[in-house]
Amino acid sequence: MTVGAWRNWLQQQKGTIRSMDASSDENAPLQVFFDSRLLINPLAGPTLFVAIKGAWHDGHDYLTAAHKSGVRYFLVSNQVTLPPLPNADVIAVSDVLLAWQQLAGKWRREWNQPVIGITGSNGKTTVKEWLCQLLNHSFHVHSSPRSYNSQIGVPMSLWDLQSSHQLAVIEAAISQPGEMQRHADCIQPDFGVLTHLGSSHLEGFNGHEHLLEEKLKLFNSCAWIAMPGSLNSAAEKLRGQGKRVLTWGTAASNDMQVSSEATPQGRSIEVRWANQSFVWMLPFGGESGFRNAMTAALVALEWGVDGRQIGESIQYLRDLDLRMQRLRTHDGAWILSDAYTNDWDALALALQDLDKLPGHLPKAAIIGSIPGMKPKDQKRLIALIKGSSVQLLWLVGDAWKALDWSEVDSVTCRHFSSTSEILQALEVSADAFRDHDILIKGPRADRFERFHPLLMQRGHVTQLELDLEAVAHNLKTTRAYVRERGGDHVSIIAVIKASGYGTNGPALARLLQFHGVEIMAVACTEEGIELRRHGLVMRILVLNPEPDTFRALVKHRLEPALHRLEHLDELTRIVQQSDQTQPWPVHLKLDTGMHRLGFTPEECPALHKIIANHPHLLVRTVFSHLAAADDPQLDADTSRQIHLFNDAVEVLRHPSQPFKTHILNSAGLIRFPEKAGDYVRTGIGLFGVRVTEIPETWDLQPAVRFTTAISAIHTIPAGEGVGYGFTDASHHPRQVATLPVGYADGFPRHLSHGVGSVAIHGAKAPVVGWVCMDMVMVDVTAIPSAQPGDEVELFGQTISLESFAQAAGTIPYEILTRITARVQRQQRGN
What DSSP line would sit under 248-260, residue for residue? EESSTTSSEEEEE
Give residue 375's Cα distance to chain centre: 40
Q: Which phi and psi (to 5°) does residue 67 adopt?
A: -65, -40
Q: Which phi and psi (to 5°) does residue 578 adopt?
A: -85, 180
From 77-91, 457-471, 542-556, 779-793, the region with the lowest mean pLDDT: 457-471
Q: In 582-730, which ranges are E strands?
A: 584-589, 617-623, 660-662, 679-682, 704-709, 712-716
Q: Could you confirm whether 497 is annotated as catalytic?
A: yes
pLDDT of residue 459: 39
Check the CA dihedral 148-151-156-162 and report its sign: positive
286 pLDDT band, cuts 50/70/90, is confident
Question: What stretch(es) of the chain map to CATH 2.40.37.10?
Answer: 704-828
CB 293 within 8 A of CB 125: no
**Which residue type sits at 520?**
M
CB 217 within 8 A of CB 115: no
Question: What stretch(es) of the chain map to CATH 3.40.1390.10?
Answer: 3-94
120 pLDDT band, cuts 50/70/90, is very high
Q: Which phi and psi (to 5°) does residue 545 adopt?
A: -75, 140
CATH number of 704-828: 2.40.37.10
From 278-292, 362-376, 496-510, 523-537, the region with the lowest mean pLDDT: 362-376
Across residues 334-348, what is the average pLDDT? 73
Interior/surface letters 336-358, b for 16+ CB within 10 angstroms, e for the rest: bbbbbbbbbbbbbbbbebbeebe
Q: Which phi and psi (to 5°) does residue 805 adopt?
A: -65, -40
pLDDT over 90 at 136, yes or no = no
d(CA 419, CA 412): 19
d(CA 568, CA 621): 15
Question: What stretch(es) of the chain map to CATH 3.20.20.10?
Answer: 489-687
Write down the catalytic residue from 68, 386, 401, 724: 724
Question: What stretch(es) of the chain map to CATH 3.40.1190.10?
Answer: 101-314
Q: Specify the DSSP class assigned to residue 519.
A: E
Across residues 505-520, what is the average pLDDT? 87
Q: For the sheet with 491-495, list strands across it.
A: 660-662, 617-623, 584-589, 559-562, 539-542, 519-522, 491-495, 679-682
Mean pLDDT score across all residues of the chain = 88
H-helix segments, 556-665:
565-577, 604-612, 635-652
d(CA 141, CA 537): 7
Number of C-beta neighbours around residue 27 at 10 A: 9
Across residues 306-312, what is the average pLDDT? 91
Pick the CATH number of 489-687 from 1.10.10.10, 2.30.30.100, 3.20.20.10, 3.20.20.70: 3.20.20.10
pLDDT of residue 458: 44
pTM strictly above 0.75: no
Interior/surface letters 426-451, b for 16+ CB within 10 angstroms, e for the rest: beeeeebbeebbbbbbbbeebebeeb
From 149-153, 262-266, 340-344, 498-502, the region with the lowest mean pLDDT: 340-344
pLDDT of residue 262: 81
d(CA 600, CA 593): 9
Q: For the sheet with 776-779, list strands across it.
A: 712-716, 734-739, 776-779, 763-768, 757-760, 791-795, 704-709, 463-467, 824-828
pLDDT of residue 755: 97
CB 775 within 8 A of CB 740: yes
Long-range contacts, stretch 399-408, CB < 8 angstroms, 24+ apart? 399/369, 399/370, 399/373, 400/369, 402/375, 402/378, 403/378, 407/382, 408/382
325-456, CATH topology level: Protein-Tyrosine Phosphatase; Chain A (3.90.190)
pLDDT of residue 750: 96
pLDDT over 80 at 409, yes or no = no
Q: Could you confirm whether 316 is annotated as catalytic?
A: no
d(CA 523, CA 499): 9
| Helix (H), strand (E) at residue 512 | helix 505-514
Among candidate residues 460, 380, 423, 379, the one with its CA nearest the CA of residue 787: 460
39 pLDDT band, cuts 50/70/90, is low
Q: Is 625 helix (H, G, I), strand (E, B) or coil?
A: coil
H-helix segments, 170-243:
179-187, 208-216, 232-240
- Name residue 118's beta-bridge partners: 171, 193
The superfamily (CATH) of domain 101-314 is Mur-like, catalytic domain (3.40.1190.10)
Question: What stretch(es) of the chain map to CATH 3.90.190.20?
Answer: 325-456
Q: Which phi and psi (to 5°) does residue 564 adopt?
A: -140, 145
Pick the CATH number of 3-94 from 3.40.640.10, 3.40.50.2300, 3.40.50.300, 3.40.1390.10: 3.40.1390.10
Number of C-beta neighbours around residue 676 at 10 A: 22
d(CA 246, CA 273): 11
CB 364 within 8 A of CB 390: yes
Across residues 323-329, what is the average pLDDT? 65
Write down the catalytic residue from 363, 497, 589, 675: 497
